[in-house]
Structure 1
């Protein structure tokens, strides 16, 4: 008997990205992305000075790695095409070496009964576009749509699940508010314009997909972080949580599914005089080209309270001008990563999508537990005993199961990530994978306890 039984054909698997796994090699034809450039200029910004060229070598080991996916119960897997690999320079010429690689990767996944879910953009802006402003420049929207059309033409026969962006709020936050992505600005007006251009690019890619008669589904991957007020009976705390939700969640969730922006966000940017540059017909394009499928990334909640600390006038305006973060007493923590663990958050997201977003088909596209120094949990047989990760995934899946039982249209669960990978400025500091990657020993792979457990879950389509 399986206590927590999931729907037939449930998607079991994991997610990763091209820039975090593939690496860079002589002769691969890859162009420079913002990450390659930033590492070259400021390697000290990256943990242990490990840069993107030293990602986990999936470019060369994907066949072996796909066998490890099978051994850990995958029937689906999300990867991303690197824009700078496929179209490496401003001429727009297609890198045929990249085309061959992605075709071989897709063929290998399909031959092993693992459905490929492909994402078009995972924070990896080509440097030749960033030099002209990146997402600040409307020309990047047109370049992105051309790139998306190229991907659909080249790989649409094999890929039936496409995603326009992974976590589009992150380039906004990281690049233009909080300085953890290149170009490290603090400029809310730029942040608003970048977010708007990303959303417009997403809608135009959806439009292109349908115009081309592609026969799959196209969606977006959003990191939805529930904004909980400190006090559910305090109007000022509630107001703070609603605005935080509009900025960080609904800024992409509402236009992607409803075709319109949340009124709280529109009112805020109007009040600040930082409305984006909107062209004729833009809002109609966003309205008429909503997604088929929503990917939900969930790691931790956001807890907020009414603003009590002074506004930083040197950095203002900033989202933080309108609320303070709140550390709830007694909260459950991941001691290895410093993030709160709140399993019910995943249920709250799914019920919100059920009730307020038409119960659109969705899936958990990322959920995971990062651990620093995970080698200390390796046993005498060389296996990492990550029972804490099993507990984390199991307890989140219980809430996913409950939401499905209550009518949520959730079709799958992908963990972040398949195997330990390079993670932006954190490099290999925090490990997330079902599979360990020993970067000091020939990049050797080995399945962790969690990977073996996940295989049983997938085989049984559930767990006790």
Structure 2
């Protein structure tokens, strides 16, 4: 069967500054954490060993063109542009980002630019990071500077990438710096991130720039084990905490009342100011980026909560392992293609059908060298993964969902936080020793799909 997509559909991939550029002038939390605890990083590989985009941006953009990308998302590094977070702008960084943006446009590739992709300048973290409203103001200034420098050419801006992840990783589950386990502080970080987002949106609107501004959220549909009321309630609370805590403010301009009530009853609400609600209402977006990797399956708890344990989301639900689920064994994630459709239908039916696109979807696989045939990685499993998701995406679009594009994570195998290079995601293989780039079979498939604006299955 042939699956054709709407005219001007965005075909491309996504990456981030910290995961691709390499060493920068300003230190980030990742640089600092790596010097303190290199053992937390796979094979002791830190953020200085990335895919060298800072040196190879021009040839990499040629490869993007070879893959028939018409769009590409990356991020600006706050710590590269303003090394201490609040002071002087680094002219070398301005030159670099100008060259990248201009070259993308020259090659017919529309730049999508994210302002914050997990890379807090260490100078900002030292004064409390997102717990401190001074950092919120500093971010708003940084956003304003980016709009002034690049807003004449960049027409698609995103304030944050997956803002729930630094909340989960840094303040709940100990997989990002500063390795805090404290729900109230996590709630403060999440809340202040929404305020920072809204301030950036306000600045963008005030500047009357030609483009649009949005945010990228990783949405994980919450599926209850059964229709038993206890399971349904558990899934609802998981959805409130992990999806709607950001989705509602950026699309509706306010928080879900039942989330506020729940957190208030456990004395976990962040400190709010009277003027905050008006600011949050101003933060409604033009374009939503959706990162979808896996569903969240939950059931009601079958054991009592230890009242002495730290307050956590899991006080309200347990994760559920559905029998017979399809897995990516390398990443430990369920592969569930209909989830992408369910997200789009939810947005259509409950959020006014916003302009959106799939900003990330991907499959990380370990030791891909096993699959080399005639000098090329034959990653048919990745082609199957993409085409499976695109089939359900196509169904959503055919039923009126306002989805404008599909970006894969990622372009070239890149450094991935604590996992470093354990799992590879790219259309293009990266040889870490030589930095040689080789297009995988999936890259050729994607290039053909983009060129034809369709695929056969």
* TM-score (norm. length: structure 1): 0.97
Runs of 4 or more, structure 1, over 2 Å off, are 309-316
Contact 2:183 2:312 in 1 (8 A): yes
Q: C-alpha separation between the residues in 2 aligned to 1:355 and 1:298?
A: 19
Looking at structure 1, the residues matched to 439 and 103 of structure 2 have their Cα atoms a distance apart, in angstroms, of: 20
Contact 1:309 1:324 (C-alpha < 8 Å) held by counterparts: no
Counterpart CA distance in 2 for 1:330 and 1:95 is: 53
For residues 107 and 286 of structure 2, the distance between their equivalents in structure 1, rounded to whole angstroms, comes to: 26
Cα offset for 1:295? Answer: 0.3
2:383 corresponds to which of 383, 390, 394: 390
Matches of 2:17 and 2:184, distance apart in 1: 30
Q: Is the 8 A contact 1:66 1:109 kept in 2?
A: yes
Distance in structure 2 (CA, Å) of the matches to 1:371 and 1:431 = 5
Equivalent in the alignment of 1:5: 4
* Matching of residue 291 in structure 1 with residue 290 in structure 2: no
Does structure 2 conserve the Cα–Cα contact (< 8 Å) formed by 1:186 and 1:315? no
Per-residue CA deviation, residues 351-385 of structure 1 (Å, 9 max, x unaligned), is 10111111010000000001011111112x21000
Unpaired runs of 5+ residues, structure 2, are: none
Distance 1:6 1:129 in 2: 43
Q: Deviations over 1:228-276 (max 9, x none)?
A: 0000x20000000000000000000000000010122101210111211
Q: In the TM superposition, what whole-angstrom CA distance separates every residue of 1:144-187 from its partner, at most 9, and x where no partner exists?
A: 00000000000001100000000000010000000000001100
Q: Distance in 2 between matches of 1:110 and 1:159?
A: 9
2:28 aligns to what? 33
Q: Deviations over 1:267-291 (max 9, x none)?
A: 1210111211111211111113300
Corresponding position of 1:17: 16
CA RMSD in angstroms comes to: 1.0
C-alpha distance in 1, partners of 2:291/2:135? 25
Q: What does residue 178 of structure 2 align with?
A: 183
Distance 1:296 1:355 in 2: 16
Q: Distance in 2 between matches of 1:34 and 1:445?
A: 29
Deviation at 1:90, TM superposition (A): 5.2
Instruction: Write out per-residue CA displacement over residues 105-148 of structure 1, whole angstroms, 9 at most, x where no aligned residue.
Output: 00110010000000000000000010000000011110000000
Q: 1:143 aligns with which of 132, 138, 143?
A: 138
Matched, 1:463 2:455: yes
Structure 1 partner of 2:160: 165
Q: Which residue of the partner structure matches residue 124 of structure 1?
A: 119
Q: Deviations over 1:46-74 (max 9, x none)?
A: 00111001111000101111111111121
1:6-39 deviations in Å (ceiling 9; x for gaps): 0000000000000000001xxx6x2000000000
Aligned counterparts of 1:454 and 1:237: Cα–Cα separation in 2: 39
In 2, Cα distance between the equivalents of 1:334 and 1:313? 35
Q: Give the conservation status (yes or no) of the 8 Å contact 2:86–2:138.
A: no
Pairing 1:436–2:429 present: yes
Superposed, which structure 2 residues align to 1:59-458 within 5 Å?
A: 59-89=54-84, 92-231=87-226, 233-379=227-373, 381-440=374-433, 442-458=434-450
CA contact (8 A) 2:327 2:335 kept: yes
Does the residue aligned with 1:412 lie in a helix, a strand or coil?
strand
Q: TM-score under structure 2 normalisation?
A: 0.98
Pair 1:51-2:46 in alignment = yes
Shift of 1:316: 2.2
2:251 & 2:304 partners in 1: Cα distance? Answer: 36
More moved, 70-79 vs 408-417:
70-79
Aligned with 2:217: secondary structure?
Answer: strand
* Residues 360 and 409, structure 2, Cα contact 8 Å, conserved in 1: yes
Mapped partners of 1:335, 1:52: distance in 2? 25
The unaligned stretches of length 5 or more in structure 1 are none
In the TM superposition, what is the alpha-carbon distance from 1:91 to its structure 2 partner?
5.3
- Is this contact kept in 2: 1:206–1:289, CA < 8 A? yes
- Partner SS state of residue 53, structure 1: coil
Deviations 1:383-431 (A, max 9, x none): 0000000000000000000000000000000000011000000000010
Q: Distance in 2 between matches of 1:315 and 1:123?
A: 28
Query: Is the Cα contact below 8 Å between 1:119 and 1:165 reproduced in 2?
Result: yes
